[in-house]
Amino acid sequence: MIQAQYAGFAAVVSVTVYELAIKEIFIEFARKKHKVFGSHIEHHLKRLNGRINLKDLKHDQIKRFGEKYLIRFDRLLKKRENEILRVEGKSVTTCYSNLIVWRNEFAHQGRLLTNATYSEVCDAYRLGKITIECLENSMIN
C-alpha cells in the first residue's frame, strides 16, 4: 500500500513538472517573439493545469503558434518514438499518456495505483520527458 502511495505521489509530481516545463517553453517562445505576446501567453497558460495530454498539447496549445510548429513537433516526436521503441522496446507517447492517467487516478479519483509500480512511474517519467524535449526543440523561432 505504501509503494502504491509513493507511485501516486511520484505521478502527481511528475505531471506537475511536465506542466511547468510546458508553460515555460511556450512563455519563453512567445517572449522571444514579442514582449506583449509573452505576457499574453503567460496569462493564458495560468489555466493550463491538467490539459497537457498529447491531443490537447497538439491541437489546443502548439497549433495556436502556427501549423509549422505542430508539424515539427509531430516529426520530432515520431523520430524519437521510433528510436526508443527500437532501443528499449517502450513507447514514449504511451509512457507520457500513462503518467497523466495515473496522476488523474491518484489525484482526482483518490485511487491508489494498482496498475503501476513506483519503478514504472519513474521509468514513464524518464521516457515521457522526451515528449517535452521534442516540444522544446520544435518551438524554435
Q: pLDDT digit string (tens) for 5-42? A: 888 899 999 999 999 999 999 999 999 999 999 898 88
Domain boundaries, the chain: 2-138
What is this structure's pTM? 0.90
Separation in Å, CA 99 to CA 7, 31, 76, 113: 10, 30, 20, 11
pLDDT attached to residue 122: 95
Q: Is there a contact between 138 and 73 (Cβ–Cβ < 8 Å)?
A: yes
Q: How confident is the model at residue 53 (pLDDT cuts 50, 70, 90)?
A: very high
pLDDT at 47 over 90: no
Q: pLDDT digit string (tens) for 66-111? A: 999 999 999 999 999 999 999 999 999 999 999 999 998 887 777 7
Residue 14 contacts by C-beta under 8 Å, 6 or more apart in sequence?
99, 103, 121, 124, 125, 128
pLDDT at 48 over 80: no
pLDDT attached to residue 45: 86
Q: How confident is the model at residue 134 (pLDDT cuts 50, 70, 90)?
A: very high
Q: How confident is the model at residue 113 (pLDDT cuts 50, 70, 90)?
A: confident
Rounded to whole angstroms, how far apart are CA atoms 6 and 102? 12
Rounded to whole angstroms, how far apart are CA atoms 83 and 80? 5
